Structure 1
């Protein structure tokens, strides 16, 4: 309806509206009318016209922000999203007469045109392997893995094969993942990339359903669903509906497990076995970017889940070598912006689950408009313009984009911003900034140097010339981070660039929020730690160095407690280098979604033995435990186990550096979920990273100050794989450690550490007259030495501990207790000669006698 018609139709109502009511209406719709260009402040009568028109048509205006359930009319802002609701329709719905469209289930009509998809050679190779090992072999049951790196197109490759080989034959597909984002991504691939006549040649349409805590429910599953995309937890909880409404009618179902390295978790295994037992023909593919071998002696349980091993595998390095992906070059920039003062503890805890969008509009605006932070971002580009070239900036929100654009333009940088893929939560309608397509086209044509983007450019948007990605917004979502960095990883053969710079802007959160580190994400998802290539060790070194940077920061931070700093400085550098790491990922539960947590437990020389003992003890520690939720031991259970482990296994060992109760909890949780031990990766050639050797060379060379500085710079420049990789490409850390090592060698007395633990001698009794428990309290070092000696006496050549009575053998120390051969009550002493190992049961029987 035209504006003139609205005015004419409501003219008679103006005389009925009191002046007071007019003022209220002006207040009520101030922003609403401004958005429509109605010139509200000059024409207040139009407020009443619009209001009457909406009321006459049973229309209400509704607004919601993430931080509030609804917003008062007078508090609306021009950045708010507005929803129009038909009250009459809502009432009819309540009467059960009308129907509404539902976002998470429906029918996708196959488009009568070609998809335009040009698969890369490795994707074609993968499809051929899938055909050979599954279609042509006809093997049933079948369960294997498709391993493609980040950016390699796992989802598209698998979905393409499923469409041509299953949907085209009217066969059913069940696609399972553990994150909501992955479910949406899978649906978009089937819908927006593959529902075309050149791929689905024999099927004019197919029915889909997305099931999770925020999508549809299992109770709504229908026998006619061709494609179900679901979270594992929702399907486990509603398996009866899946069975009764879907599986019971099928001879054959094909199962896809996304992020398949988690398939060893208990709930995954339970679901897989339930589905396998419900159909006659069961086949399954696991998708992962994390390469691993599945031979039984290496992975055990994983081999049982995917007994047909790897169907096809290509690693990140090959795709970079082929020019399909760019070589990622990671850089970090400290903004020196302290954001902690903006939050209380509850808000920080919330951030760990809800991402940056949950911080509240006011706080987000404060961060986004911070002048110091924004100038840091702009200046970084200006100082490196020749290197960074065309750059895509991922900003916090619209306020951030506006501020950054202005500053870039003040520096004569051709810059624009786009607001893309903003979806109204109530209507599902996608809202885009006017001119987005034109701005993106200008960027693509080289008319813009910098494109600032809010809420991530949709997948499939072609930006081949992006040389650099600026990550000016943090995220806890691995999927979102993968999408962001993926915008710059298009290689030369794919029309992109040879190298891609991924620049992270790091605000001071003091690690209160588990933001995703982009470099760590790439390493974790794409490094085959079973491979013996040199590049694997380089990646391992970098993975360790990321965790060590916090320690380096302690050494140069004037605000750190002096005692903590001295503890680090007094420790030779080699002792602060780990021997290796336990590297694994586990699932944690928040509300109705599983969250992935990647863990790197650094193992130092002081903790090598207790960690080895812990690995032997894990089976007995978790035996008989039952989790409140199938995959997750409770925090109370983990706390109890952690305390037991610290008391029984780690006691008596120097816990610094490297001991963390959280690391122990993570290892226990992982073992409970997967029933397998975490992988241990040894740092090879560890000694070559010891800066003490550099310090010795400098002192032996008797250099002048200027010669010394030149020598250190030469080492830094000539040994990139050694020093630059380990010190995070930050020369300050390298120089600080070399200088500290020189001081340690030149002034040994200042850095000596006590080697003897003082003994409390208030009572004049020999230690050998005390029971072991009291020795532990009085002199832990002696207790540990004596315990180790007794265990070693009872260990055989194969590493098994042997009971002094009977034939029982075990590598788990917790299976045994130290026992006096002659009891203290009978004059025996706590000495090496008078101590032996018994099982707990044997010791209890002996004590009863």
Structure 2
């Protein structure tokens, strides 16, 4: 075997073995992206083939399977007793496959899909291990109906603190109008993302922010459509960065050539659509730029974790232009996984992330010292959320929140406003310092109050933006 297991990987294998000894035959195995699940699967596969047992591995992408085959080979797995294939290729020839004793599925949060179920039901006599970083469906539900047990690995936070995953700095610089996002089948539609990103104009801020935060570092950019990705790649190229785009429509030979160029560092910016989210190792990537909003926690974590391969002295840069952290929290939040779904576990000091108005770094309040941003030292006003206020105690009694009213913090002061006005304030807070994103007078007024600008500021900006009515 050309690699050695880390202690947390040994513990994961031990947990799987104990579950199997307890009689479970369909086991969901959770371990974060970048934690080395492929090495764990290779070790389990070797133990099985050494005993003369047949193994079936499958996933939904050819690139994942190629990496798994290479890892199995390096790990000393008897490949004559292993079948590796994509879901689409295997489902058409089930009767011709050697019956497996053990099935390994990677990126197994997809297993509810019909082709996965066809394979798993056809070989129902086999022991089935479902590996994923996120055992959760798009609607937030889990897999209690498809798995008998859940074995969980170490958390992202633990892996970072132990040096197994790179630390990161998270920046939130919103470039879209979240009010325009619409969902279909649980995910944001491409048409609504086009509108939210003002697709008919050039949104240039992502270039300047990349140059300010991570200039010259290799970055992977996530976009929602091929057309938008092409615009993004062209703009990076126009600014002197070697850039390319890959998507599911990119011919296989061209995709492989671009991936190899990216791995070798000959490309600086790789813009992609629906690729490089799962199971692909890109060790040189230091930066993740999110230009695609997603309602999927699984997809969000795949985005964020792609840049977290560890390297001596490395700190990854995650730039969120679409408010994904507002939906899902920060990537290394503690999450309580179960077969029923996930519940994010918050510490008392971690009610909601804070974004610095000066440098746009996003972090939890516990990171602040003396009310200052831990990244740039900007002095910040500690703002309380509605959740904080509802739990705040006065003389042993909870503060009463009047029906139809909510508290918001405006320029450091607690103010009670109508609930519909609070919605406007929360939306405007996502604009950062970009007052030009205000769509009407109500938003512009809220923007002035949030930032503590003088009344005259409002008149000048109304004139500049030609906003005169709510």
TM-score interval (norm. to shorter): 0.5 to 0.7
Q: Aligned pair 1:151/2:43, yes or no?
A: no
CA deviation vs aligned residue, 1:126-145 (integer Å, no higher than 9, x gap): 335656x468xx55458887
Q: Aligned pair 1:462/2:285, yes or no?
A: no
2:67 aligned to which of 184, 192, 195:
192
Name the residue aligned to 2:307. 488
Name the residue aligned to 1:206. 82
Q: How many correspondences in the alignment?
A: 378
Residues 219-298 of structure 1: matches in 2 within 5 Å? 224-226=98-100, 227=103, 229=105, 231-232=111-112, 234=114, 242=121, 246-247=123-124, 250=125, 253-256=127-130, 258=132, 259-260=134-135, 268-269=143-144, 271-272=146-147, 286-288=150-152
CA deviation vs aligned residue, 1:97-147 (integer Å, no higher than 9, x gap): xxxxxxxxxxxxxxxxx8x6665553244335656x468xx5545888755
The answer for unaligned runs of 5 or more in structure 2 is: 339-344, 357-382, 392-397, 415-428, 435-445, 454-470
Larger of the two Rg values belongs to structure: 1
1:541 aligned to which of 328, 352, 361:
352
Q: Aligned pair 1:322/2:162, yes or no?
A: yes
TM norm structure 2:
0.58
Q: Aligned pair 1:656/2:467, yes or no?
A: no
Name the residue aligned to 2:378. none
2:322 aligned to which of 503, 506, 515:
506
Q: Aligned pair 1:443/2:260, yes or no?
A: no
CA contact (8 A) 2:222 2:290 kept: yes
Name the residue aligned to 2:221. 393
CA distance in 1, matches of 2:247, 2:3: 22
**535-544 or 481-490, which moves further after superposition?**
535-544
CA distance in 1, matches of 2:256, 2:113: 40
Name the residue aligned to 1:432. 254
Residues 58-457 of structure 1: matches in 2 within 5 Å? 119-127=5-13, 130=16, 133=18, 138-140=21-23, 147-154=30-37, 156-171=38-53, 183-184=59-60, 189=64, 191-194=66-69, 196-199=72-75, 201-207=77-83, 224-226=98-100, 227=103, 229=105, 231-232=111-112, 234=114, 242=121, 246-247=123-124, 250=125, 253-256=127-130, 258=132, 259-260=134-135, 268-269=143-144, 271-272=146-147, 286-288=150-152, 313-335=153-175, 340=180, 348-350=182-184, 352-353=186-187, 356=190, 359=191, 370-373=200-203, 375-385=204-214, 389-396=217-224, 399-408=227-236, 413-420=239-246, 422-423=248-249, 430-432=252-254, 436=258, 439-440=261-262, 443=265, 450-455=268-273, 456-457=275-276
CA distance in 2, matches of 1:367, 1:144: 41
CA deviation vs aligned residue, 1:62-102 (integer Å, no higher than 9, x gap): xxxxxxxxxxxxxxxxxxxxxxxxxxxxxxxxxxxxxxxxx
CA contact (8 A) 1:325 1:490 kept: yes
CA distance in 2, matches of 1:460, 1:544: 31
Q: 1:199, CA displacement in angstroms? A: 3.2
Relative distance call for 1:337 and 1:169 in structure 2 (3 A) is same
Relative distance call for 1:475 and 1:695 in structure 2 (3 A) is closer
Relative distance call for 1:731 and 1:253 in structure 2 (3 A) is same
CA distance in 2, matches of 1:261, 1:326: 24
SS in 1 for 2:159: helix
The answer for unaligned runs of 5 or more in structure 1 is: 1-113, 176-181, 273-283, 289-312, 508-514, 546-571, 581-603, 608-653, 659-688, 697-726, 741-849
CA contact (8 A) 2:159 2:165 kept: yes
TM norm structure 1:
0.35
Q: 1:320, CA displacement in angstroms? A: 1.4
CA distance in 1, matches of 2:322, 2:162: 32
CA contact (8 A) 2:63 2:280 kept: no
CA distance in 1, matches of 2:327, 2:241: 25
CA distance in 1, matches of 2:331, 2:24: 33
Relative distance call for 1:268 and 1:205 in structure 2 (3 A) is same
Identify which of structures 1 and 2 has the higher relative contact order when contacts are C-alpha pairs closer than 8 Å and 6+ apart. Answer: 2
Structural RMSD (CA): 5.6
Q: Aligned pair 1:471/2:301, yes or no?
A: no
CA deviation vs aligned residue, 1:743-796 (integer Å, no higher than 9, x gap): xxxxxxxxxxxxxxxxxxxxxxxxxxxxxxxxxxxxxxxxxxxxxxxxxxxxxx
